[in-house]
Structure formats: structure tokens, C-alpha cells
């Protein structure tokens, strides 16, 4: 999976408006300031605050872990 680099350059955390970065597995977007990850489902970032997953829970709840 590969997200559009132009899209990644304009996305920000919906909660704090801070920078986000792609996870190594490319299945989520991490906001280090909020300590959460936003899942990427079918190559679409789910940028909803209520869908954010705490980084401590990310390994078990990330989209690729559910397959």
C-alpha cells in the first residue's frame, strides 16, 4: 500500500493540528503530540478523533493486525 505523498504532506492531526507521520507498516498515521495513531483502511486515512487509537494499543488494534 502506498499513500499519495502529496496527500501526506497536507494532512495534520485533526485534534491538535500537529504533524503526522506514516507508520513503518503504512497502515496508520501517528501524531506524536497526541500519542495516537489514525488507521489507514483500504488506502484511506480515517482522520476522525473518535477513531484514533492510543499508541500503546496500536500493535493489537491496527488494521493489518485484524487480518
pLDDT at residue 67, as a whole number: 56
SS3 16: coil
Dihedral Cα 49, 60, 28, 38, nearest 10 deg: 0
- Residues 30-56 pLDDT 10s: 999 999 999 999 889 999 999 999 999
Kindly list the structural domains of the chain, giving each domain's residue range(s) and its CATH number in brackets, ordered by start. Answer: 5-66 (2.20.25.10)
Query: Is the full-model pTM beyond 0.85?
Result: yes
Confidence of residue 66 (pLDDT cuts 50, 70, 90): low
Q: Which three cell numbers stand for residue 61?
A: 488494534
- Residues 15-24 pLDDT 10s: 999 999 999 9
Q: Which residue has the higher pLDDT, 50 or 66?
A: 50
Amino acid at each position: 500500500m502506498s499513500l499519495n505523498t502529496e496527500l501526506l504532506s497536507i494532512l495534520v492531526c485533526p485534534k491538535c493540528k500537529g504533524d503526522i507521520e506514516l507508520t513503518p507498516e503504512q497502515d496508520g498515521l501517528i501524531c506524536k503530540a497526541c500519542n495516537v495513531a489514525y488507521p489507514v483502511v483500504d488506502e484511506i486515512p480515517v482522520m476522525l478523533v473518535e477513531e484514533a487509537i492510543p499508541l500503546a494499543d496500536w500493535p493489537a488494534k491496527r488494521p493489518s493486525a485484524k487480518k
